[in-house]
Structure 1
Amino acid sequence: MASSSKPEKIYDVFLSFRGVDMRNNFSSHLYQALHRIGIYTFRDSEELKKGGQISPVLMKAIEESCIAIIIFSENYTSSRWCLEELAKIIECKEQKNLIVLPVFYKVDPKEVRGGRKSYQRALTKHKSKFGKDSEKVKRWKEALFDVGNLSGWHLNDG
């Protein structure tokens, strides 16, 4: 029998979030709730080994996950790493049927897909750093638009 080239799914869930905004509140509670009911979840603070390279580990974890939960917060797009994760998540959604579940935490989906308010400011900074015609920035904007059009959860307070 021929071996499959399809990567094995190791994680049930990959959590994508902006650590500054979310690490010690909603994402932490979500991670603990998933863990309690036996859902194996990748979260960067739990799975990354000190001294290891961040990007390859994160990209591999996304590929090895069944579901990606993206927690969009006010400063999500200010992080180049979050945007790289997001682009990889969308790539895996399209190519490997990764299920993507967005959570809009004190952020409107229109802001995510349309690049308004803090998202527009962050993208403008990225454009000035990488160049306004940068393929990287275009890929990030497309990923934000795609995921901003997905049905998700709105969480404002509480």
Structure 2
Amino acid sequence: MASSSPSRLQNYDVFVSFRGKDTRRKFASHLYTALRYRNIITFKYDREIEAGDTISDEICQAIQDSRFVVVIISENYATSKWCLEELRMIMDFHTEDMSRVVPIFYGVDPSDVRHQRGSFDTAFQ
């Protein structure tokens, strides 16, 4: 697999970021299955996250080691401090041109996210 940076080995083609309770058994699982079916090496964290948990080294490394990151932005995505921290990390690597980020708006109007309306207004206050 070709790397976008010669000094960095990429272990995953795609890292999937999602709010578990919104999309784990719905969209995220179907996307993961479809990608794997096409032999696309995909990382999806499936363990339940408890309040107060910090992002594991495994996730940090998987974000760094992925060519693409798919962020499934659902209605409650921004209510999770974990998701927001993960997104911050993703964007840090993206701005360093280490990965490409593909947002998917699942049941959410992109303008609500951009302008922080609806559930995003509440989450960011």
User: Normalising TM by the smaller chain, what interval?
Assistant: 0.7 to 0.9
Matched, 1:85 2:86: yes
Which stretch shifts more, 36-45 or 92-101?
92-101
Q: Which residue of 2 aligns with 1:40?
A: 41
Deviation at 1:5, TM superposition (A): 8.1
Q: Which residue of 2 aligns with 1:144?
A: none
Q: Which residue of 2 aligns with 1:11?
A: 12
Deviation at 1:30, TM superposition (A): 0.4
Count of aligned pairs between the two proteins: 116
1:95-134 to structure 2, matched below 5 A, reads 95-124=96-125
Amino acid at match of 2:74: S
Q: Distance in 1 between matches of 2:99 and 2:123?
A: 27
More helix, by proportion: 1
Q: Which residue of 1 aligns with 2:72?
A: 71
Deviation at 1:109, TM superposition (A): 1.1
Deviation at 1:36, TM superposition (A): 0.7
Higher relative CO (CA 8 A, sep ≥ 6), structure 1 or 2? 2
> 1:101 is paired with a residue of what secondary structure?
strand
RMSD: 2.0
> 1:106 is paired with a residue of what secondary structure?
coil
Deviation at 1:114, TM superposition (A): 1.6
With the length of structure 1 as denominator, give the TM-score of the two structures.
0.68
Gaps spanning 5+ residues in structure 2: where?
48-53
> 1:66 is paired with a residue of what secondary structure?
strand
> 1:25 is paired with a residue of what secondary structure?
helix
Q: Hey, which bits of structure 1, 4+ residues long, moved more than 6 A? A: none
> 2:96 is paired with a residue of what secondary structure?
helix
> 2:119 is paired with a residue of what secondary structure?
helix
Gaps spanning 5+ residues in structure 1: where?
47-52, 125-158
Contact in 1 for aligned 2:71/2:103 (Cα 8 Å): yes
Q: Identity over aligned residues, as a percent?
A: 44
Query: Which has more radius of gyration?
Result: 1
